[in-house]
Amino acid sequence: MAKLVINGGIPLEGSVKISGAKNAALAVIAASLLAEGETVLENIPQINDVVILTEILQSLGASVFWKDRETLSITVPDDVHCVANYREVKRLRASNLLLGPLVARRRKARISLPGGCQIGSRPMDLHLKGLAKLGCTIGVEHGFIKACCSRLEGNRIYLDFPSVGATENIMMAAAVAEGKTIIENAAKEPEIVDLASFLNSMGGKIRGAGTDRIKITGVKTLRAAKYAIIPDRIEAGTFLAAVTITGGNVRVENVIPPHLKPIIAKLQEAGAWIKEEDSSLHIVGPERIKSVDIKTLPFPGFPTDMQSQMMALLALAYGTGVIVENVFENRLLVANELNRMGAQIKVEGHTAIVQGVPFLNGVSVKAPDLRSGVALILAGLAARGTTEIYNLHVIDRGYLNVEEKLSRLGADIKRID
């Protein structure tokens, strides 16, 4: 079983280039199902989740190949299959994003319910209510979602919660519905804006993405386009946190600073010095991290995908920090592994009380999920002695060669297969 072996205590130095955004790539790849012709997507990270989604598109009959390390070509036939079964969907939860584009393209879709994961039950009620408002007949039986419609008709949709996935599925279906759709209380994440920009580059008419009110005028067809996705704000935030926890000095390149506002503000509050440049950030970590409080919220609040990384930071901070996880129901799992390293973290429901300690000890730990896994890497980078991290496949889902990028910054980290 592969593991990462980290000898901690080395401040990170140098520069690192951030890859394309996982959560933009997954949405844009799903949206390419709507396109007639060859879609060319640039700045796509070859991370496991992306590779799995390309394999699912191939199983549906699309022609998908890498033109180079970061450029994907996707051509979808008119008779693309519209059934994604459990074998595929259980490999990738985000395959729920196939629902909107498939029902829009083929007027029918049958997707296995993705089921929950470590961090929560991950329901799809908001996705299904939205698609029903556009004229889909939705059925859920034997673990499958069945959606079909004779035609898609624009409508006004209010989301009870600004769900990223529901906003994306509804936007993709509404893009080719007849008439106008308004999504209210829509998610405002940068990945939503990127998906809307991609759909508009295909001839879509979407306005207001990035606000809580998105207006979509349906068009008959969407032409395949060439499109470069945004850099990954969570990967960038993870490296900023790595420099903070090791007291390093690094330039983080290929970022869009406005996407990182809540993360930059919180790390500055914790004592990091951060200078914004055009498309990079220069960060110097503090001598000692100051404790801060974290409340995760939909964008532009503090992102839930950075919560575990901040818990690792607070474990070594001066003082006590309080983390409240407001987005997912079970995303404080990394506390158990951090406590095994000597952290003092008490979890009560959605809240973690993190009392900073002077040092963490390197021990063997198991990554519970993607962001917890990378939080354990951060802890290992700062811990005394050697940390071994198992269950690497969950980390490889969302980070491309994380150990190589960290090694190039001076970290003593190796992957042992």
Active site residue 82: no
Q: What angle do CA 13, 396, 30 make, to 5 degrees?
A: 115
Stretch that binds ligand EPZ, among 21-29, 76-84, 103-111, 255-263 (CB under 6 A): 21-29
Q: Are strands 344-348 and 351-355 parallel, antiparallel or unpaired?
A: antiparallel
**Within 10 A of 13 (CB to CB), how many other CB atoms are there?**
14
Strand locations in 91-238 (E): 108-112, 137-141, 144-148, 156-158, 180-184, 205-207, 213-217, 222-223, 226-228
Cβ atoms of residues 137 and 147 within 8 Å: yes
Query: What is the DSSP track for 152-193?
Result: -B--EEE-SS--HHHHHHHHHHHTTSBSEEEEES----HHHH
Q: How far is the CB of 181 from ligand EPZ (least distance, A)?
A: 17
Q: Does 23 bind ligand EPZ (CB under 6 A)?
A: yes
295 binds ligand EPZ (CB under 6 A): no
CB of 287 to ligand EPZ, least distance (A): 31
Q: Using the rule CB under 6 A, is 163 a contact of ligand EPZ?
A: yes
| Per-residue contact flags (x/-) with ligand EPZ for residues 372 to 401, judged by CB under 6 A | --------------------------x---
Nearer of residues 292 and 370 to ligand EPZ, judged by Cβ: 370
Q: Of these, 6, 25, 62, 94, which contacts ligand EPZ (CB under 6 A)? A: 94
* Cα distance between residue 332 and residue 329, in whole Å: 9
Binds ligand EPZ (CB under 6 A): choice among 57, 157, 272, 327? 327
- Least distance CB 30 / ligand EPZ (angstroms): 10
Q: Is residue 124 within the footprint of ligand EPZ (CB under 6 A)? A: yes
Stretch that binds ligand EPZ, among 13-21, 159-167, 279-287, 403-411 (CB under 6 A): 159-167
Binding mask 37-76 for ligand EPZ (x = CB under 6 A): ----------------------------------------
Q: How far apart are CA 77 and CA 299, in angstroms?
A: 35
* Residue with smaller CB distance to ligand EPZ, 48 or 291: 48
First to last CA, the chain: 6
Q: By CB under 6 A, which span of 120-128, 210-218, 241-249, 253-261 interacts with ligand EPZ?
A: 120-128
| H or E, element range at 365 | strand 364-366
**How far is residue 413 from each of residues 47, 370, 380, 381, 389, measured CA to CA in Å?**
19, 18, 9, 8, 11
The residue with its CB nearest to ligand EPZ is: 165
Q: Please state the φ and ψ torsions of residue 262, each to the nearest 5 degrees.
A: -65, -30
The residues, any chain, with a CB within 8 Å of residue 348's CB and separated by 6 or more, are none
| Cα–Cα dist 199/32, whole Å | 9
Please check whether residue 143 is in contact with residue 150, taking contact to mean a CB–CB distance below 8 angstroms: no
**Positions 226 through 285 that interact with ligand EPZ (CB under 6 A):** none
CA dist 178 to 35, 68, 374, Å? 17, 37, 44
Confirm or reject binding of residue 123 to ligand EPZ (CB under 6 A).
yes
Cβ proximity to ligand EPZ, 370 vs 409, nearer residue: 370
CB of 144 to ligand EPZ, least distance (A): 16
26 binds ligand EPZ (CB under 6 A): yes
Q: Rule CB under 6 A: which residues touch ligand EPZ?
A: 22-23, 26, 94, 120, 122-127, 161, 163-166, 187, 189, 304-305, 327-328, 370-371, 398
What residues are annotated to the active site?
A: 117
